[in-house]
Amino acid sequence: MNDFTSLGLDPRLLKALTQEGYEKPTPIQVQAIPHVLEGKDLLGIAQTGTGKTAGFALPILQRLDANKRTPAPKTARALILSPTRELSAQIADSFKAYGRYMNQSVTTIFGGVGEGPQIQTMRKGIDILVATPGRLLDLVNQRAVDLSKTEIFVLDEADRMLDMGFIRDIRRLVAQLPRERQNLFFSATMPEEISGLASDLLKNPVSVSVTPQATTVERIAQRVIHVETSSKRALLIELLRTDPAMNRNLVFTRTKHGADKVVRALSAAGIVSSAIHGNKSQSQRVSTLNAFRAGRTRVLIATDIAARGIDVDGISHVINYDLPHVPESYVHRIGRTARAGADGVAIAFCDREERGLLRDIERMTRQQIPSSEWRAKPGEVQAMDAAARALDSERPERTERPARNNNGERKAHGERKPHGDRKPNGEHRKPGGDRKPHGDRKPQGERHAHADRKPHGEHRARPAHADRPAHADRKPHGERQQHGDRPAHAERPHGEKRPFNPGKPRHPQHADRRVAAGASAHDAKPMSERAQHAQARDAARPHTGPKPHRKGQGPKPAGAPVRDGAGNALPRFLQHRGRP
């Protein structure tokens, strides 16, 4: 099979592959695509850069298109798990490029970004979901993602998933999948630990192995340089300065702190470089990769988190600044170069403590890597460290962060005015200078007094305050009766009523309301006149006793009690029955 047409792919996929520049399928694609199209489980072993992504992406797109249906809300028809964010983004981009004429929805779910947009995208359902295990498990626990209707499950870089500690999350996610599904396992290496997981998940799988286990690409020229630990940075700078062929370089370190130290050393030497590791945010990692792809950054320093997540064409050299503890990781690192049939160079720095790791790598790759030795010149390491420290001392601290001007541009710290020479508080807030400075305002006493304002009853339409005196006619605040001048509660004996002032008339507003409601005329009179009217009324109408209550609860009429035949008085509730 020398072309993609013989693999039975859809013409729309062939058109997209032609636009992407694909001419001949790779060995892993030739062996994997027919079995995936038939719906069989697959266990594929292939090196990094051999085209594994197209080996499962092309048949998945064709199978989903052949059985079109609208995905249910929060579900995905195909699920692809990958170990890193970068690899997930690259797999999703490949699906979009291959299926541009098939109208299949593709999305990604991984950490480092907000989960709100991811939840919103999954609400309507998706055809192809590419995710990392951690964030996907979080959304499954929140019931934002439903895996019960997944038709195809792909576990890419399965061995790396185990190395990163995702085995427990993977088993939890697999428990959410339906039993009837297609399982695809693709990996660059196949250690013994993954055999148990494969036997539990795969059903009668077809094994596809393109190359022997953990062998390296033949197009990569490998060599080892024995050097002291303190001289590794000097060696890296020497190689970058003397070899003009090192135009796009990828350097791997063991730790995040080590990656940042290498960046500082290269910056002090005038070499443009940047770092990518787990402490960087997703936006920083994307911008760093874009700068490296565009050629603006000559050297990219990364940890193993990017060993399988960087798919950049034209990487000339891969440098193992620190040898990995896991021999399989060496294969993934150097697999970033010599991609798509190109040649590449892999250089490894090895100190005395790493010689055991080098022997493990040679035993696994079944070859002896050519080696040499390099020593730094006297004083070269000390001068390089001093330059790096000087560069760090020139960087401004966080407390000296420059401010922004009105156009959004930052001012240099030396251009800012001292705190005492800055403008008053009221002068720099309103642009254009229309607002008066704080010192030119009128004193507090010259501002508008309360007497110049409208009375309280004039600017409100409520009649309740129309007759109230204006604010200026009231007593000043200092002449009013204070709280301390009022009589305390203890000065009046308990039970004594408050003294009555008969000369104080009721508020005329209340009197108008009662008269309008049809009340008697005396209700609008002062309290003294109301008391006199009550005395005259009682004299004219003598008291006749309480009014009788309902249901016989009032006083009973006088008379002899009703008795029975024996002369006994009947009960009270039977007295009315015995009366004639």
Query: Per residue in 524-574, pLDDT tens?
Result: 555 556 666 666 666 666 656 556 555 555 555 556 777 777 778 777 777
* Domain end among 390, 405, 429: 390
- pLDDT value, residue 122: 96
122 membership: H or E segment, kind and range? helix 116-122
Does 146 lie in the same domain as 20? yes
Does 175 lie in the same domain as 197? yes
Least confident of 15-24, 152-161, 182-191, 523-532: 523-532
Instruction: Give mean pLDDT, residues 210-233.
Output: 78
pLDDT value at 484 more than 70: no
| Residue 476 in domain | no
Does 302 lie in the same domain as 200? no
Q: Where are any strands of DSSP class E within 157-298? A: 182-187, 206-209, 220-226, 249-252, 273-276
Instruction: Give mean pLDDT, residues 308-331.
Output: 84
Does 237 lie in the same domain as 137? no
Percent of the chain's residues with pLDDT above 90 = 36
* Domain end among 390, 413, 441: 390
Does 235 lie in the same domain as 170? no
Nearest to 163 by CA among 350, 324, 360: 324
Amino acid at site 247? N
Q: Which domain holds residue 77?
A: 4-209
Between 540 and 13, where is the model more confident? 13
Does 226 lie in the same domain as 176? no
| Pairwise CA distance, residues 105 & 95, whole Å | 9
The CATH number of whichever domain residue 275 belongs to comes to 3.40.50.300
Q: The tokens of 125 are what?
A: 């359902």
Give the number of domains in the chain.
2
| Pairwise CA distance, residues 554 & 102, whole Å | 95
Q: Does residue 45 contact residue 208 with C-beta atoms inside 8 Å?
A: yes
Does 224 lie in the same domain as 174? no
pLDDT digits (tens, 9 = 90+) for 396-425: 554 444 445 544 455 555 555 555 555 555
SS (H, E, C) 434-479: CCCCHHHCCCHHHCCCHHHCCCCCCCCCCHHHCCCCCHHHCCCHHH
pLDDT digits (tens, 9 = 90+) for 81-120: 998 888 899 899 999 999 999 999 999 999 888 999 999 9
Does 225 lie in the same domain as 278? yes
Least confident of 323-327, 446-450, 515-519, 574-578: 515-519
SS (H, E, C) 239-256: HHHHCCCCCCEEEECCCH
Neighbouring residues of 272: CB distance < 8 A, sequence distance ≥ 6: 266, 296, 297, 298, 299
Does 243 lie in the same domain as 160? no
Q: Does residue 264 contact residue 388 with C-beta atoms inside 8 Å?
A: yes
Helix, strand or coil, per DSSP, at residue 63: helix
pLDDT value at 485 more than 70: no
Q: The tokens of 174 are what?
A: 């697999």
Between 505 and 144, where is the model more confident? 144
pLDDT digits (tens, 9 = 90+) for 176-186: 999 999 999 88
- pLDDT value, residue 182: 94
Nearest to 129 by CA among 108, 110, 144, 98: 108
| Pairwise CA distance, residues 251 & 259, whole Å | 9
| Residue 11 in domain | yes
Does 344 lie in the same domain as 241? yes
Neighbouring residues of 268: CB distance < 8 A, sequence distance ≥ 6: 384, 387, 388, 390, 391
| Residue 538 in domain | no
Nearest to 36 by CA among 205, 211, 210, 213: 205
Between 338 and 250, where is the model more confident? 250
Does 281 lie in the same domain as 174? no
As beta bridge partners, residue 213 has none
Between 46 and 420, where is the model more confident? 46
Helix, strand or coil, per DSSP, at residue 288: helix
* Domain end among 366, 390, 414: 390
pLDDT value at 30 more than 70: yes
Does 263 lie in the same domain as 186? no
Helix, strand or coil, per DSSP, at residue 74: coil
